[in-house]
Structure 1
Amino acid sequence: MKLVNTNNIPEEYIYDKDFNSRLKTELLGDAVKTEGFYVNIDSIKPGAESTKYHSHSKQEEFFLVIEGSGILRINEKKIIVKKGDVISKPAGKGIAHQFINNGEEILKILDIGTREKDDIITYPDEEIVYIKDKNLVFNKKDSIKNWSSEPNK
């Protein structure tokens, strides 16, 4: 067991500790060494996005809007979210998602998800496929045409 106070997260577990960019992420789960799931707090400045629009092949996710309001872009729909809203995104199913802060204040989200081996992340806006565990990135536009796995053709 490991205990860390959210007011005292070690710097190595915070992306952009000084919040110079448009997104700061506190890796709470990494700080306390969770294994089967991650727990992050994402702070998104007005006009910024939480991540690129993406979907996971295996990862289940849970979000709680802690502060502020914004838009959840999910499967090409835009849904207004605000403090207190809870969202679940089931594993697989190709559900693309992204939070956008269109408000005047910081949008802060608790982001919890499963850590899945061989999760494949797809970025539909860019037609990119990312195999996270292998750190491999592919552009769907460059796919080989007329290829088949059939050995007898």
Structure 2
Amino acid sequence: MSNEQYSLLKASEINSMDAFEFHHPLNPNSEVYLRFLGRAVGLKRIGVTIACIPPGKESFIYHAHQNEEEWVYILSGQGIAEIGDMEYEVEPGDFMGFGLPQQPHHLRNPFSEELVYLMGGEAGRLDVGVFPRLGKRVIRDNESAYIVDESALQLFDGSK
């Protein structure tokens, strides 16, 4: 395969990709199907993914990243976006961006048709996700991720 072919995914190829079924371990209502477009064309520093949330399900969990910006663009269906303390109905053509410092956010689909969106962001080696409603954090280091209770965090002070 030439570099040009590797850099292009035709719509027919995208539509035939197997979706990865993901359920967030801390949200029993999480069910999202992911097609990793960025990985398929060799992107290493940014992620681009088509996501689909079935009716009555949610994306991941109400969260904020500490080191990675991310964005969401609604392709079809409707959803409810929680951003900070507010809720917004979202529909095709709506765009959300989460810079740093990041507002906690979440996407759910209480409607009768699937919600399909394009999402992307940075894919750094190290990120910390905050789950403010649960008092937990996830620390991702390369391919490994660790969940910790915020109550167990201790400030590291090497000055003493």
Verify the 8 A CA contact 2:31 2:60 in the aligned structure 1: no
Distance 1:106 1:57, change over 3 A: same
Letter of the 1:31 counterpart: A
Report the 3-state secondary structure (helix = DSSP H, G, I; strand = E; otherwise coil) of the residue aligned with 2:57: coil
Verify the 8 A CA contact 1:59 1:116 in the aligned structure 2: yes
Report the 3-state secondary structure (helix = DSSP H, G, I; strand = E; otherwise coil) of the residue aligned with 1:7: helix
Distance 1:16 1:118, change over 3 A: closer
Match of 1:74 in 2: 83
Instruction: Please tell me whether residue 141 in structure 1 is matched to residue 155 in structure 2.
Output: no
Separation (CA, whole Å) in 1 of partners of 2:86 and 2:123? 26
Report the 3-state secondary structure (helix = DSSP H, G, I; strand = E; otherwise coil) of the residue aligned with 1:119: strand
Shift in Å, 1:131: 1.2
Match of 2:25 in 1: none
Distance 1:94 1:62, change over 3 A: closer
Unaligned runs of 5+ in 2: 23-29
Deviations 1:104-123 (A, max 9, x none): 10000100111123211111
Unaligned runs of 5+ in 1: none
Instruction: Please tell me whether residue 102 in structure 1 is matched to residue 107 in structure 2.
Output: no
Separation (CA, whole Å) in 2 of partners of 1:6 and 1:126? 39
Report the 3-state secondary structure (helix = DSSP H, G, I; strand = E; otherwise coil) of the residue aligned with 2:125: coil
Report the 3-state secondary structure (helix = DSSP H, G, I; strand = E; otherwise coil) of the residue aligned with 1:132: strand
Distance 1:28 1:93, change over 3 A: same
Verify the 8 A CA contact 1:6 1:28 in the aligned structure 2: no
In the comparison of the two structures, how many residue pairs are matched?
145
Give the alignment of 1:118-137 within 5 angstroms: 118-133=126-141, 134-137=144-147
Deviations 1:40-73 (A, max 9, x none): 0110011111111111012111211000111111
Verify the 8 A CA contact 2:129 2:137 in the aligned structure 1: yes
Shift in Å, 1:35: 1.8
Separation (CA, whole Å) in 2 of partners of 1:132 and 1:148? 19
Report the 3-state secondary structure (helix = DSSP H, G, I; strand = E; otherwise coil) of the residue aligned with 2:126: coil
Separation (CA, whole Å) in 2 of partners of 1:6 and 1:53? 31
Separation (CA, whole Å) in 1 of partners of 2:55 and 2:120? 22
Aligned identity (percent) is 25
Report the 3-state secondary structure (helix = DSSP H, G, I; strand = E; otherwise coil) of the residue aligned with 2:38: helix
